[in-house]
Structure 1
Amino acid sequence: MTQACPAILVAAPASGQGKTTVAAALTRLHARAGRRVRAFKCGPDFLDPHWLALATGQPVHNLDLWMTGEDDARARLHAAAAQSDLIVVEGVMGLFDGEPSAADLAQRFGLPVLAVIDASAMAGTFGALAFGLQHYRTGLRWAGVLANRVAGERHAQMLQDALAQDPSAWLGAVPRDAAFALPERHLGLTVAAELPDALARLDAAADALAATALGQMDGAALARWSVGFEAPRQAQAVAPLLQGRTIAIARDAAFCFIYPANLDALCALGAELVFFSPLANEPLPACDAAWLPGGYPELHLAALSGARRTQESLRAHAGAGRPVWAECGGMMPLFDRIVDGEGAAHATWGLLPGEVRMHKRLAALGPQQLDLAQGSLRGHTFHYSRCETALTPAMHTQALRGGVRGLGEAVYRVGSVQASYFHAWFASSPTAAASLFLPGDSV
């Protein structure tokens, strides 16, 4: 059965235009009004969903026609539509950037597109950008355009006048204001939980948006953006391959790159999940397998270097032949040391030989696929560091660039420890995901 719900995709001509601020402000504004709001993030991303989750009070899942798959996206949107008054999907990069792009997602599901344009250094060109985004591809539903980081009323009027070919596209202007700026660092936005005033920033952004035509739309006005989401196809049953097994997951400010859908996938496989904090020097809880997800270990090197109980419990766990799966930032402290951006070396946990060096430039970015005997896991990579190790990779992921496959990230294996810069989307192959947390001959 088709489920109808007002929905909008918040896009932009490029990264850095303020998509997350506007998407979070819009969801916060309607959540404060008592509406049931669900938010999603287009493409691989761990950071923006933290802000959208804070704004909505609901878990935020990723939608990507390749990584998560069309069926997964359809199922999540259909389920959200049945329980929501508004769905907001934040785009990724520019509207037409990437394969697949945010525009591909919008077109596949009939999502109206709101273009957010940083107008801080333009006037008439604003109209050209808006016109181009609207007409570059046929078949896109168009919601309108919002000017962001505007200097004042006169500037806003100039921008509105630039939409002479389609005045109805104007949805208002949001001023530049430090009160609702979302701070950034090398991997993207700062995690919302790290800022004591995070919710106040979102409320300030919502207040600013409330003064615009977009922000003044009530439930009746939102109905013009109604989308009918088709029911998903019958999903294949997930075998309880992890039934009776406990997986310990590192989760704190250093290890915070966790897709909620990955936790759901492990639970669907029958696993019991327990959490621990290496930053607090907590030992590994009693478990059958461990998962060290990505995050920001490079920002917490002193604490991680001193986390002896965590280190010793991981060593004992691996020494007993129990599986460890480590992704990107979760892999980094498993090496002997991490060399920070200033060249200072910090001793880490020594389960893998070698060191990890931080760099100021991006080392890798893009979609990846890990082909295992049990199936193929889709995911991505995004990191600023490089490994220097004598280990021979046990395998490599496949990198996908422009539809062409190439050699991707190394996967290292020492005993029961497996580690890679690859971030996996577990639902893309539950059987393959389960194999990461089982002894080698279990699947």
Structure 2
Amino acid sequence: MLVAAPASGQGKTTVAAALARLHARQGRRVRAFKCGPDFLDPHWLALATGAPVHSLDLWMTGEADCRARLRAAARECDLVIVEGVMGLFDGTPSAADLAVRFGLPVLAVIDAHAMAGTFGALAYGLQNFRPGLPWAGVLANRVASERHAGMLKDALREPAQWLGALPRDAGFTLPERHLGLVLATELDDAMARLDAVADVLATTPLGLMPVAQLPQVSFEPVAGDGIDPADPAVPPLLAGRTIAIARDAAFSFIYPANLDVLTALGARLSFFSPLAGDALPACDAVWLPGGYPELHAEALSACTPMRDALVAHVAAGKPVWAECGGMMALFDELATQGNAQDSAQDHGHVPRTHRMWGLLPGKVSMQKRLAGLGPQQLTLGTHRSHMHTLRGHTFHYSLADTPLPPAAHTARPGLTQAVGARSGEALYVHGPVRASYFHAWFASSPQATACLFSAMPIELERHATVD
């Protein structure tokens, strides 16, 4: 089923992860997916299932990729849970689009705090707003008492749609910060939190429902679907090359599918942690993924051996691909807001500026509001006659101030990539360094991905400026 809600913050991740945990600890094989681009919620779903969590997005990953991943999961497990994104009908494409396309019955999670009869109206609207939407039922979250739960159930036009209620309990709330949920790996009691919710969920109609009565869905192959991502026919364009990948609390925004693509391209992957003081592995290219450099700015600033190793790597003409937080670490300076939102240390709410690694000239400053959000695409290649388009997204709270002119900009879906275009994120090319706030979904173009990690100069699509 697909776990959705009227809006963000209703408890989708809590319910989806707890439901997965409930069945996993009963011995069932469970796979979870996340609708839309997201690096944070999947950590909780992966903790609950013990398996990688891939994104499903009809635009970014594509319908064929979504169907193939769902089909592959269904072949090897007993239950598939997909967590929605934002509200059920928010975004293009939306979680509802995904549910309709693949016949995924929707479980609506509604925050019922300070609500009674309106709960029924909201549930009815979610079910009937779009004709043909597969429907599983509704679960009330943050319910005050058994009496309150009874009022909510009575408000439904169809009592059979009632799948239970979760109480209003601070222990059931997953902690958040500016980019979303705190990573499960940062909390010592992460599994205990999921178990606590799963224990309560086990007493609800949803938790008590026999597996045979859960909705059954078949993910049949469709002509033209292409290659199953479990066995991609990807040319070994990176054969013999070693890619060093930063992976720790500061650089944690990594799609498991992106690692699969690099491996399919023939690359050897070598991971290192700047925060742990690891040396840069011997490699042909470096990937600095997104993450939370602002939370660890002081520690990263002190990583002088890493800075020197990256300078030597670049001086040797070896490529670096830096995404979002990875790019932030490469600028001369990083200014934090100095509060608990974006700093690991609360320095009296005084903004602080940290010296960073200096491979890109300029300064990055954290903002109090979101500075970039939405789907993006980037067209590039190593030869003008062989251009390829990477799909992905952007989501960041910082702004870069640099004398470097953008080599190109990404574009929103349906618009043309252009130098100077205001529609997308800047791509900076500084020697062999390629950096952007753009998060790429490598499977959308293995060829373009290979370009990012190639020692050859990249070519960029250049057209007239668009708005």
Change over 3 Å in CA distance of 1:301–1:122 after alignment to 2: same
Partner of 1:127: 120
Let me know the Cα RMSD of the aligned residues: 1.2
How much identity, in percent, do the aligned residues show? 71
Q: Which secondary structure does the structure 2 equivalent of 1:407 belong to?
A: coil
Residue in structure 2 matching 1:388, options 392, 401, 411:
401
For residue 281 of structure 1, report the CA deviation from its aligned partner: 2.4
Pairing 1:408–2:424 present = yes
1-structure distance, mates of 2:8, 2:257: 25
User: How much does 1:278 deviate?
Assistant: 0.9
TM-score (ref. length: structure 2): 0.91
1:180 deviates by: 2.4
1:355 equivalenced with 2:351 (yes/no): no
Moved >3 Å (runs of 4+): 403-406
Residues of 2 paired with 1:399 and 1:441: CA distance? 24
- What is the alpha-carbon distance in structure 1 between the residues aligned to residue 193 and residue 71 of structure 2? 31
Alignment correspondent of 1:231: 221
Counterparts in 2 of 1:404 and 1:96: CA distance versus 1, 3 Å: farther
Structure 1 stretches of 5 or more lacking a match?
1-7
Deviation at 1:407, TM superposition (A): 2.4
Q: Are the counterparts in 2 of residues 340 and 358 from structure 1 also a CA contact under 8 Å?
A: yes
Q: 1:404 to 1:128 in 2, by over 3 A?
A: farther
Say yes or no: does 1:338 pair with 2:331. no
Rounded to whole Å, the distance in 1 between the matches of 2:411 and 2:212 is 47
Check if 1:257 corresponds to 2:250: no
Structure 2 equivalent of residue 22 of structure 1: 15
Alpha-carbon displacement from aligned partner over 1:223-278 (angstroms, at most 9, x marks no partner): xx100101263417210000010000000000000000000000010000000011
What secondary structure is seen at the aligned counterpart in 1 of 2:141?
Answer: strand
SS in 2 for 1:408: coil
Paired residues of 1:280 and 1:307 also in contact (CA < 8 A)? no
The aligned counterpart of 1:209 is: 201
Partner of 2:144: 151
Give the CA deviation at 1:181: 1.5
Aligned: 1:166 with 2:177: no
Question: 2:111 aligned with 1:118, yes or no?
Answer: yes
Matched, 1:306 2:302: yes
Given residue 76 of structure 1, which amino acid in structure 2 is its aligned partner? Answer: R
**1:179 offset after TM fit, Å?**
2.0
Select the residue among 320, 325, 338 that pairs with 2:321: 325
Structure 2 portions without partners, runs of 5+: 339-350, 382-386, 417-421, 460-467
Distance in 2 between residues matched to 1:125 and 1:187, nearest whole Å: 31
Which secondary structure state, in structure 2, belongs to the residue aligned with residue 435 of structure 1?
helix
Q: Distance in 2 between matches of 1:339 and 1:377?
A: 30
Does residue 364 (structure 1) correspond to residue 380 (structure 2)? The answer is no
Cα-to-partner distance string for 1:300-352 (whole Å, 9 max, x where unaligned): 01110000111111111011000000000000010001000133110010000
| 2:142–2:168 Cα contact (<8 Å) kept | yes
Equivalent residue of 2:217, what SS? strand
Q: What do the CA deviations read for 1:155-180 (whole angstroms, capped 9, x no partner)? A: 000000100x2111100111011222
1:137 lines up with 2:140 in the alignment? no
Partner of 1:5: none
Q: Is residue 94 from structure 1 mapped to residue 87 from structure 2 by the alignment?
A: yes
Letter aligned with residue 372 of structure 2: A
Contact 2:407 2:426 in 1 (8 A): yes
2:346 aligns to what? none
User: Which of 445, 448, 465 is the equivalent residue of 1:432?
Assistant: 448
Residue 47 of structure 1 corresponds to: 40
Asked which structure has the greater RCO (Cα within 8 Å, sep 6+), the reply is: 1
Provide the rounded CA distance (Å) in 2 between the counterparts of 1:183 and 1:220. 34
> Does the CA-based 8 Å contact 1:63-1:73 persist in structure 2?
yes
Is contact 1:274–1:285 with CA below 8 Å preserved after alignment? yes
Match runs of 1:171-210 below 5 Å: 171-210=163-202
Equivalent residue runs for 1:6-85 within 5 Å: 8-85=1-78
User: Does the CA contact (< 8 Å) of 1:253 and 1:296 recur in 2?
Assistant: yes
**Paired residue for 1:108?**
101
Residue among 222, 234, 237 paired with 1:241: 237
The aligned counterpart of 2:388 is 375
Q: Secondary structure at the match of 1:228?
A: coil
Deviations 1:92-138 (A, max 9, x none): 00000000000000000000000000001200000000000000001
What amino acid is aligned across from residue 203 of structure 1 in structure 2? D
Distance 2:304 2:279 in 1: 9
Deviations 1:3-43 (A, max 9, x none): xxxxx000000000000000000000000100110000000
State the secondary structure of the residue aligned to 1:123.
coil
- Give the superposition deviation at 1:404: 5.4
What is the match of residue 276 of structure 1?
Answer: 272
Pairs aligned (count): 431
* 3-state DSSP of counterpart to 2:207: coil
| Separation of aligned partners in 1, 2:168 and 2:129 | 28
